Amino acid sequence: MPPRWERLREVLKDPIMKEALERAMTRFAHARGEALVGLGDFQDWSKRCRDLKERALEGADDLWAQVKKGVESKGGHFYMASHGDEARKYIGEAILDTGGSLVVKGKSITSEEIHLNAYLMNLGLEVVETDLGERIIQLAGEKPSHLIVPAIHKTKEEVARIFSQFWGREVPDDPYLITKEVRKDLREKFLKASAGITGANVVSADVPAFFLMTNEGNGRLCSTLPQVHVIITGWEKIVENTEDAFTLFDILPVNSVGLKYSSYLSVFTAPFPWKKGRTWHVVVMDNGRRKAAEDPVLREALRCIRCGACMNVCPVYKTVGGHTFSHVYMGGIGAAWTAITGDLRDAKEVASMCTGCGTCLEVCPMEIPIPRLVERVKELAHGEGPAESLAVRVLSKRRYLESAAGMTSLFAPKRVDKLPGPASYLTEFRVLESPQGPPFHSWARAQGLEVGEGGKVTLYAGCMVDYFYPRIGRDAVRLLKALGIPVQLMKEECCGIPARVVGDWERWEKLAIQNVDGIPADKPLLFLCATCLSGFYQYRDGCSGLPPFYDLSQVILDEVGDSPFPGAFEARVAYHFPCHLERHVGIKEEPLKLLEKVKGVDLVEGEKAHLCCGGAGLYGFKFPPISGEILKKKLEWLEREKVDVLVTSCPSCIMQLRGGVERMGLPVRVLHMATFLIEAWRRGEKGNG
């Protein structure tokens, strides 16, 4: 087994982390849903927040010049650090000038970015984290695992053990009592500290003012009691005015952990003057941010307000936690921030773990296209390794893929229950299928279907349908014919998604050009693969005159109209929403509406219908431990709901789900929408006969 798989497997065995993540994520999701009800339309909020951040980024340097002038006019010191070394040196000198040795520090991911604590301790200073979560992980010798809740991976029992070891006495696993003891311990530190360091969530240029959100009040004590107060913040945190700042704070606590308001919102406009000689320093980190602002894709990450909501819904983060799925910054957005502020090799490692499911797209209040950022990181890092590169070359060339599929269908068994050696882990959580018969296009041409002629719709089958699941294509053609919808073909190349997701942008663009040239402009283009459909949607950005693109459910619904579907299927049926269809393309209602029109269907719905299955194309082969754990949650839902038939619109999802169902021995049929509907139509005909 590859070392990385072994490491992931060990992480997945950690019962404490799994329990802690499950508790927290469930609580956050429920609280966020309730809090959003009173907020109004989430999309309206997102657009407003996006626009105000875009305006600020456009004029960021001028706004910071305004802040500098304001800070210095009030006796403060302003420093723009181009990189981490400059910031660390400046902050270290400012603290050493006090003659003291104790530093109290509020939560700041920007300081984590430049490894500030280690630097200050090397100068002989004692650095004490005062945010409860940060204090826990500091004593545990770890790094934060979440932007908002840094110790989210710890249970109350483990936290009690950490403080018991630190204080040398038994501490009960009661959160209230633990907090009370920590408060007492930290109060002494606040009173003795010579320097306090805080971050800033938002900076408004008009006053100027520095906004800090906390739930414990520690930020105020760090900033007001010590002789020197240092604010460290990122260049991107600027907004034009205080009204914009308060707009962001209306959405930030709601979206992060489901709180309508944080316990404390502190606003600093000048040194707090309770003691003579107090000094105030504002350190603004560039550290790659200005360069990122010039990149049309990475620039999107600069709108991030660190709410952490994308992590709360991410299937990978919920499976392996922030320590595994991060360098300093966590999750998919963390891959972009690692590329901006750190090393591309580290960023590539984080980015490679993202499934690209797009769940984050549904909760980001700044409308940041995180999956696209992950692709950009891979592109900049020349993402694919040798195995991925070979796989992408095979998938991107029809003749290579046809040869590979043909050889596999000839010599491989129909199903593979167990692979030998290290590859055996690929079959630990699913059974693998072999290609099913001759390619779809060979069959279609034999049926008289033509390229670009004779159809009401143009069919794009896709590589998986053509070579791996040709039955799906045959069923779709027969279904459409039965409904009076003649089909024509197009000259297909790979949709390019395999190349795109590994960062091979040159290959992606070449395939896009070839496909656009092959699209008949006068007929709607019908897809049988959600991934391919999402790939073609990307073409729209640079092309005009393209026909409408449809999923099969949309075409059938348009044809059936208000009438029932002419068929029947007596079963408990669930629909698995392919991530690319639902989140990347936005097709959410049509598949369910269509299934409801089929007589006899007992439709099973619920949140789990929208869970990523963990397949994600090649992902299940790259990270089988993570893929298998994500799949497990889906399968448990199917078993619990006693589902008879699981319908979906993505061949890659079918491969993942069908393999998992077989491995678990569940009595569930996994069918493409085309196969399900043609079976329903035939059953309906028999019933009528």
**pLDDT above 70 coverage of the chain, percent:** 94
pLDDT of the residue at 13: 84
Q: How far is 358 from 368, CA to CA, in rounded Å?
A: 11
pLDDT of the residue at 403: 60
As a whole number, the mean pLDDT across the chain is: 90
Q: How far is 140 from 166, CA to CA, in rounded Å?
A: 9
Say which residue the tokens 């840094």 belong to.
Answer: 150
pLDDT of the residue at 437: 75
Domain 409-557 has CATH 3.30.420: no
3-state SS of 469-514?
CHHHHHHHHHHHHHCCCCEEECCCCCCCHHHHHCCCHHHHHHHHHH
* Segment 452-468, tens digit of pLDDT: 888 999 999 998 999 88
pLDDT of the residue at 452: 84
pLDDT of the residue at 401: 61
- CATH number belonging to domain 561-688: 3.40.50
- Angle of the 3-12 helix axis to the 315-324 helix axis, nearest 10: 100
Omega of the bond leading into 365 within 30 degrees of 0 (cis): no
pLDDT of the residue at 579: 95
46, two tokens: 């997102």
pTM, whole model, 2 decimals? 0.91
Find the helix or strand (DSSP H, E) in which 247 lies: helix 242-257
226, two tokens: 């010590």
Q: How far is 67 from 343, CA to CA, in rounded Å?
A: 30
CA dihedral over 168, 170, 174, 177, signed as positive or negative = negative
pLDDT of the residue at 684: 83
Q: Which conformational region is residue 327 in: left (phi greater than 0), alpha (psi within -120 to 50 degrees), or beta?
A: alpha
pLDDT beneath 70, residues of the chain:
1-2, 383-415, 422, 542, 687-689
Question: In a 3-state reduction of DSSP, which class is residue 97?
Answer: coil
pLDDT of the residue at 387: 59
* Segment 349-401, tens digit of pLDDT: 999 999 999 999 999 999 999 999 999 999 998 755 665 666 666 666 666 56
End-to-end Cα, the chain, rounded Å: 56
Say which residue the tokens 């750190």 belong to.
Answer: 342
pLDDT of the residue at 539: 80
Q: Where are the domains of the chain?
A: 12-129+190-287, 291-380, 409-557, 561-688
Find the helix or strand (DSSP H, E) in which 669 lies: strand 669-672
pLDDT of the residue at 366: 95
- For the chain, how big is the Rg over CA atoms in Å? 28
Q: Do domains 291-380 and 409-557 have the same CATH topology?
A: no
Q: How far is 189 from 194, CA to CA, in rounded Å?
A: 10
The CATH fold assigned to 291-380 is: Fumarate Reductase Iron-sulfur Protein; Chain B, domain 2 (1.10.1060)
Q: How far is 612 from 363, CA to CA, in rounded Å?
A: 15
Q: Minimal CA–CA distance to 634: which of 358, 430, 465?
A: 430
Phi, psi (rounded to 5 degrees) for 435 = -55, 145
* Segment 474-523, tens digit of pLDDT: 999 999 999 999 999 999 888 888 888 888 888 888 888 888 888 988 89
Please, what CATH class does the domain formed by 12-129+190-287 belong to?
A: alpha beta
